[in-house]
Amino acid sequence: MEPAALASAFAELGAATLGESGGRPMHPRIRPVWPGARLAAPAVPVRCTPGDNLAIHVAVANATAGAALVVDVGAMTDLGYWGEVLTTAALARGIAGLVIDGGVRDVDALERLGFPVFARLVALPGATKRQPGSIGATAHVGDVDVSLGDWVVGDADGVVVVPGASLGDVAGAGRARADKEARMFDALRSGATTIELLGLDPSPVQRLDG
**Which tens digit of pLDDT belongs to each residue from 92-124?**
999 999 999 999 999 999 999 999 999 999 999
Which residue segments constitute the domains of the chain, with CATH numbers given? 3-170 (3.50.30.40)
Residue type, 42: P
- Closest by CA to 32, choosing from 104, 118, 99, is 118
Task: Give the mean pLDDT of 192-210.
Answer: 93
Task: Identify the DSSP state of 66.
Answer: T
**Chain-centre distance for alpha carbon 135:** 18
pLDDT at 189 over 90: yes
Between CA 65 and CA 133, with CA 154 as vertex, the angle to 5 degrees is 55
